[in-house]
Amino acid sequence: MTASNDIDALAAMLLVRELESALSAREDCGFQLLSSGQEAVAVGVAAALLAQDQLLCSGRSIAPALARGLDPGRVMAELIGRASGPCLGRGGRGHLSQPSAGFFGAHAVVAGNLSIAAGVALALQARLDRSIAVCLFGDGACGAGALHETMNIAALWQLPLLLVCDNNLYSVSTPRAAALAPQRLSDLAAPFGIKACTVDGMDVRSVRGAAVALTDHVRSGGGPAFLECVSRRFASHSTSARETRGQQELAADRELDPITRLEKALLLEGALSTQTALGLREQVRARVTAACAFAEASPLPVPDEAFADVG
Amino acid sequence: MSADPGRTRRVFFREAICRAVGETLDAEPNAIVMGQDVGAFGGSYKEFYGLFERFGPARVRDTPVAEAAMVGLGVGAAAAGLRTLVSITYMDFVLLALDPLVNYAAKARFKTGGQIRVPMVVKLTAGAKGQGVAHSQSLESWLVSVPGLRVVAPSNVADAYGLMRSALQADGPVVYVDHKRLFPTSGALDDSVHEVPFGLAAVCRPGRHASIVTHSYMVCVALAACDQLAVSGIDCEVIDLRSLAPLDLATVCTSVSKTGALLTLEEGQVVCGIGAEIACQVQARLGPVRVMRLGAVPAPVSSNPVLEAATLPNAARVADAVRRLLMEG
């Protein structure tokens, strides 16, 4: 990977952070699941994907959608229920989707998108063009039978499926250790003979490196793979959930910020100047301002649309 | 067997299903079948017999015992460009797979603004035949209230074929409910390739005194009851709904307008059942009419033959219900 990939990754992570911050500040923000803190996972994984691949994810879908290249204006429109969102404002944050852009999309039932992703992988396998399906899910999904059923079939049928667990260490308020027995969540893949590893999800380079290796494995017909990325979310579970973590823990998490971490590394390595870094932030802010303006200019759906496209 | 359009032959219920599925696999390279024992075994009721040999293991796929993942994979594959049929041997086990069916498949087209469609059939086998409390239920009324799901339930060979053809051409999810006691039945099937459209009930016995509105195996029970009632001069009309979602209220109302009395009959529970919905909708259209609902008693369906029989409607109970209905008037 080159420095230009790193700068793209930095810009992609900044876009997520900036867009979510603009979203949170809005009166019509509503119920949202923010990705702030976890940007490196979606951005690192998306960097390993090709145009014909499909990315699926949990309801925490803003970073995955943006990382996959969806237009920030349309994403913002969808998030605030406007008709120019890719789902015409009907899906919202939990169900962002744009398959034509390689983003099959979100499904807000915990563990609910895993077997769907395996089905998408089955359809892609029939195409013989080496395309793959990738499913991002939280640590909460690892306690569900859906993961185990899906891994079993994916391994049996050698499906082109990369499972990515974005382990942010909490299911709402329940710490991961109180909910899940395995030492590492990637250990769950071993009994099925699925290639797996665990990486630091706060380091976009580590995520990207592992994602490239595992997507190569999946793409070349090696069967499914499992990537665990240990991350931290900076906000509470959702915009309507109480924060249960203490100030000290939150401050320690902030120290791991994937954006400042990459930026510092690039500055230190001489791949980025302070001036370029500032310019990058300015560009991202301008994109988000334009995205908000686009979304605001878009109408809400008419009530009759409640009956459209049923079935 | 080579097709001979215009010719009618006698086939078993399972053969009618198999023919419709085989024709689809032949015509659509993207169509696949998945389920437990659907492969070389030919399906638990032999309803996929020979398809594995014709189309191979990639298109007629045996799955592990994992209903949630089976349906989830079927949904995902359909959403991404295949046409899928997922077979679940006992309808009771669809409860394990309601999340992909109800939360994803039924909502995908709406929630994505029409970007994703799920052309999938989930085939479920309902009904009691000596297999006990968790292998005997008729739960179709649970599914008909889900916006985005279509639910069909044939009672005879011709509809088993024609409704399966329609289900495999639909652009959204269809629940196809067959019945253990229908598999041993046989009937006439035309050799021509044809469909039975959704939302169209059939008058399978004309009559003057009361309308029995039912579906699936209970159509056979209703017809047997009609024979008993005919002896005492009571002439009942039997409506086979065939399609439970959408419902064909027009055909039902035409019949009830004529007879003035409605007995709804189902093998599932009466509470919040298909009959409750029909009774309510018929009266909303026609005003007050004599109505009675008949279904399983509110108890589990045992494998014990005495207890199973005590739980479910049979011809004598249907005939008795019709007599009471007519006496009330």
CATH number of residue A201's parent domain: 3.40.50.970
Q: Do residues B136 and B233 both lie within one domain?
A: no
pLDDT of residue B256 exceeding 90, the answer is: yes
**Which of A116, A125, A157, A304 has the highest number of chain B CBs within 10 A, making it the mutation to test binding with B?**
A116
Q: Do residues B147 and B281 both lie within one domain?
A: no
Q: Is B82's CB within 8 Å of A146's CB?
A: no
Q: Do residues B266 and B185 both lie within one domain?
A: no
Which amino acid type is present at position B70? M
Contacting residues of A for B25, CB less than 8 Å apart: none
Q: How many residues does chain A have?
A: 311
Q: Report how far residue B103's alpha carbon sits from residue A221's, in angstroms, rounded to the nearest whole number.
A: 31
Q: Do residues B216 and B299 both lie within one domain?
A: yes
Distance from CA of B87 to the nearest CA of A (A): 15
Mean pLDDT of chain B, nearest integer: 97
Q: Report how far residue B234's alpha carbon sits from residue A223's, in angstroms, rounded to the nearest whole number.
A: 66
Indicate whether A311 belongs to any domain. Answer: no
- Relative to beta strand B31-35, strand B60-62 is parallel
Give the pLDDT mean for B235-248: 98
Contacting residues of B for A86, CB less than 8 Å apart: 112-113, 115
Q: In the structure, what pLDDT confidence band is assigned to residue B43 with cuts at 50, 70 and 90? A: very high
Assess contact for A98 and A88: CB atoms under 8 A: no
Q: What is the CATH number of the domain that holds B272?
A: 3.40.50.920
Contacts of B259 by beta carbon, 8 Å cutoff, 6+ apart: B207, B208, B209, B210, B211, B236, B237
Nearest Cβ partner of B82 from A107, A123, A308? Answer: A123
Give the pLDDT mean for B194-210: 97
Q: Do residues B159 and B28 both lie within one domain?
A: yes
Token pair in block for residue B51: 């398809």
Which stretches of chain A score pLDDT less than 70? 1-3
User: How many structural domains compose chain A?
Assistant: 1
Assess contact for B148 and B110: CB atoms under 8 A: yes
Query: Between the CA atoms of A9, A14, A15 and A16, what dihedral angle is there, to the nearest 10 degrees?
Result: 100
Residue ranges making up the domain that contains B15: 10-190
Reference B245, options B161, B155, B149; nearest CA is: B149
Give the pLDDT mean for B169-189: 97
Q: Do residues B163 and B262 both lie within one domain?
A: no
Please state, as a whole number, how many other Cβ atoms lie within 10 Å of the Cβ of residue A99: 19
Q: What is the percent of chain B where pLDDT is above 90?
A: 97
The sign of the dihedral angle between the CA atoms of A9, A11, A13, A16 is: negative
Q: What is the percent of chain B where pLDDT is above 70?
A: 98
Indicate whether B3 belongs to any domain. Answer: no
Q: Do residues B233 and B165 both lie within one domain?
A: no
Which amino acid type is present at position B11? V
Q: Report how far residue B61's alpha carbon sits from residue B70's, in angstroms, rounded to the nearest whole number.
A: 10
Domain boundary among B139, B164, B190: B190
Residue A2: what pLDDT?
60
Q: Is A115's CB within 8 Å of B111's CB?
A: no
Q: Do residues B209 and B130 both lie within one domain?
A: no
Q: Do residues B63 and B209 both lie within one domain?
A: no
Indicate whether B321 belongs to any domain. Answer: yes
Domain boundary among B129, B157, B190: B190
In B75-201 the beta strands, taken as DSSP E runs, fall at 83-88, 120-126, 150-152, 174-179, 186-190
Indicate whether A307 belongs to any domain. Answer: no
Q: Do residues B141 and B32 both lie within one domain?
A: yes
Residue ranges making up the domain that contains A82: 3-301
Indicate whether B243 belongs to any domain. Answer: yes
Distance from CA of B174 to the nearest CA of A (A): 9
Give the pLDDT mean for B107-111: 97
Domain boundary among B156, B190, B224: B190
User: How many structural domains compose chain B?
Assistant: 2
Assess contact for A116 and A141: CB atoms under 8 A: no
Indicate whether B275 belongs to any domain. Answer: yes
Indicate whether B224 belongs to any domain. Answer: yes
Of all residues in chain B, the one with the smallest CA distance to A89 is B113
Indicate whether B197 belongs to any domain. Answer: no
Contacts of A285 by beta carbon, 8 Å cutoff, 6+ apart: A18
Residue A239: what pLDDT?
87
Indicate whether B268 belongs to any domain. Answer: yes
pLDDT of residue B323 exceeding 80, the answer is: yes
Indicate whether B273 belongs to any domain. Answer: yes
Q: Do residues B269 and B244 both lie within one domain?
A: yes
Q: What is the CATH number of the domain that holds B51?
A: 3.40.50.970
Contacting residues of B for A157, CB less than 8 Å apart: 61
Q: Do residues B128 and B251 both lie within one domain?
A: no
Residue B329: what pLDDT?
56
ipTM more than 0.90?
yes
pLDDT of residue B3 exceeding 80, the answer is: no
Distance from CA of A291 to the nearest CA of B (A): 20
Q: Report how far residue A71's alpha carbon sits from residue B65's, in angstroms, rounded to the nearest whole number.
A: 41
Indicate whether A308 belongs to any domain. Answer: no
